[in-house]
Amino acid sequence: MAKENESYKELESRRSPESLKRLYLENLKLTKKAIKESTGKDNLIIQTIKSIEDLKVGANKLAKRLREWYELYNPEFSRSISDHRKFSQLIISKSRSELLKEIGLKEAESMGADIDKKDIDAILLLAVQIITFYDTKEKLEEYLDNAMEQFCPNTNALAGSLIAAKLLEQAGSFEKLMGMPSSTIQLLGAEKALFRHLKTGARCPKYGIILQHPVVAKSKDKAKAARMLADKISIAVKVDYFKGEFIGDKLRKGIEDKLK
């Protein structure tokens, strides 16, 4: 009680204009420092996986635009190839007649309009940009692979760098992921469906992001596979958090054998 009284007096004494001014300056300084120190490797990993996803969406959107544009000039070739990246590379490196020849057509038979070189060059500018989107995405995936292997080797070995990073992203931080029960990890990425289930009694979702993992995707009983994988991931995350020894391969092999 005496101590409480004392701290009350102390708190009261800080209400003076001079004290408030001092607290303003101190808090500003301390808070800036605390923000600086709050950034961990997990923040960098989360921004990386978000960028990879954005690049994927962006490249896809631009590639669809590129095709619409380029098809005015050479529709038959665009139709013959579905891979956006290869398509972008080929239309830059080869002429229309070469490309048509590859699919057994003559220029004279094409529905494509004959447009000026300037017009074609404008289209190819966009193709160049799209290729750099795909290249950047690939480089970031390599960076992510390395970063994950160092940051959380067990989770990485078990789930793969993309899925592990997406789990981190959904959880918000490594610490939060660490504190989650495996049943929550199993449903990360399915929050909307889960909310609908709780509110309206709709079907309860059985898996979120981890459905993308081959052992779940290929399994006949996906719900069971998802539960098993989530259990193992939750162990791997804890081992990584406390910097335990490497058991990622063992965990992965264990689950692959059981689900064969």
Helix residue ranges, H only, 172-247: 174-178, 182-187, 191-200, 214-217, 222-241
Contacting range for other proteins; rule: CB under 8 A; set: 4-12, 47-55, 69-77, 133-141: 4-12
Between the alpha carbon of residue 117 and those of residues 49, 121, 188, 215, the distances in Å are: 39, 6, 51, 51
Cα–Cα distance, 41 to 228 (Å, whole number): 28
Nearest partner of 76 among 107, 55, 116, judged by Cα: 107
Which range of residues in 21-29, 57-65, 238-246, 247-255 is near other proteins by CB under 8 A? Answer: 21-29
CB 188 within 8 A of CB 208: yes
Per CB under 8 A, does 20 bind other proteins? yes
CA-wise closest residue to 213 among 153, 251, 164? 164
Closest to 54 in 3D by CA, of 121, 168, 133 = 133
Residue with tokens 């391969």, as numbered in its chain: 249
Contact string (CB under 8 A) for other proteins, positions 220-259, x = contact: ----------------------------------------
Binding to other proteins (CB under 8 A): which residues in 88-147?
none
d(CA 73, CA 112) in angstroms, rounded, equals 4
Which region, judged by CB under 8 A, interacts with other proteins, from 9-17, 72-80, 95-103, 107-115? 9-17
Task: Choose which of 15, 106, 118, 260 interacts with other proteins (CB under 8 A).
Answer: 15
Residue 28 vs 125, nearer CB to other proteins: 28
The stretch among 25-33, 88-96, 229-237, 238-246 that binds other proteins (CB under 8 A) is 25-33
CA distance 133 to 60: 10
- Return the residue of 1, 3, 18, 39 that touches other proteins, per CB under 8 A: 39
Minimal distance in Å, beta carbon 9 to other proteins?
9
Binding other proteins (rule: CB under 8 A), the pick from 6, 30, 138, 192 is 30
Considering only residues 193 through 212, tell me which ones interact with other proteins, judged by CB under 8 A: 195, 198-199
- Residue 87 has a CB neighbour count (10 Å cut-off) of 21
Q: Is 20 helix (H, G, I), strand (E, B) or coil?
A: helix
CB of 164 to other proteins, least distance (A): 22
Interface residue with other proteins among 3, 5, 38, 203 (CB under 8 A) is: 38
- Tokens representing 25 are 């300056």
Output the smallest distance, CB 111 to other proteins, in A.
49
Binding site for other proteins (CB under 8 A): 7-8, 11-15, 17, 19-20, 23-24, 26-28, 30-32, 34-35, 38-39, 195, 198-199
